[in-house]
A = this chain, B = another copy of it.
Amino acid sequence: MDPRIEEHARIVVEWSTEVKKGDLVGIRATPDSHDFVVALYKKIAEKGAVPITLMSTEEMDRAFFDGADDETISIAPKQFEALLEKVDVVIAVRSPSNTKAMASVDPKRVIQRSIAMKRVMELYLSKRWCLTVHPTNALAQQADMSMDEYQNFMYDATLLDWKEESKLLYKMKDHLERHKDIRFTGPETDLYASTEGRIWIASDGKHNMPSGEVFTAPVEDTVEGKIYFDIPFLQQGKVIEGVRLTFEKGEVVNFSAEKAEATLKEIIEVDEGSRRLGEMAIGTNRGIRQYTLNMLFDEKIGDTVHCALGRAYKDNNGTNESAVHVDMIKTMHEGEIIAGDELIYSKGRYFYEM
> A interface vs B, CB < 8 Å?
22, 24-26, 29, 31-32, 34, 37-39, 41-46, 48-57, 59-60, 62-69, 71-72, 75, 77-83, 85-87
A49 touching B72, Cβ below 8 Å: yes
Can you list 21 A-B pairs with a CB-CB distance of less than 8 A? A24-B78, A34-B57, A34-B60, A37-B55, A37-B60, A38-B63, A41-B60, A41-B64, A46-B67, A46-B68, A50-B75, A50-B77, A52-B77, A53-B54, A53-B60, A54-B54, A54-B55, A55-B55, A79-B87, A81-B86, A82-B82
What chain B residues lie within 8 Å of A31 (beta carbons)?
31-32, 34, 55
> Smallest CB-CB separation from A34: which chain B residue?
B31
> Smallest CB-CB separation from A35: which chain B residue?
B59
What chain B residues lie within 8 Å of A22 (beta carbons)?
75
Knowing A24-B79, A86-B78, the reply to whether A42 touches B55 (Cβ < 8 A) is no
Shortest beta-carbon distance from A126 to chain B in Å:
14
B38 touching A50, Cβ below 8 Å: no
Shortest beta-carbon distance from A36 to chain B in Å:
11
- Please pick, from B42, B59, B79, the residue contacting A52 in the complex, using a CB distance under 8 A: B79
What chain B residues lie within 8 Å of A65 (beta carbons)?
45
B77 touching A82, Cβ below 8 Å: no
Shortest beta-carbon distance from A100 to chain B in Å:
15
Shortest beta-carbon distance from A304 to chain B in Å:
36
A48 touching B34, Cβ below 8 Å: no
> Smallest CB-CB separation from A29: which chain B residue?
B55
What chain B residues lie within 8 Å of A85 (beta carbons)?
82
Shortest beta-carbon distance from A155 to chain B in Å:
20
What chain B residues lie within 8 Å of A75 (beta carbons)?
22, 48, 50
- Please pick, from B42, B50, B81, the residue contacting A63 in the complex, using a CB distance under 8 A: B42
> Smallest CB-CB separation from A76: which chain B residue?
B50
CA distance A295 to B12 in the complex (A): 40
What chain B residues lie within 8 Å of A64 (beta carbons)?
41-42, 44-45, 51
B59 touching A34, Cβ below 8 Å: yes
CA distance A68 to B43 in the complex (A): 9
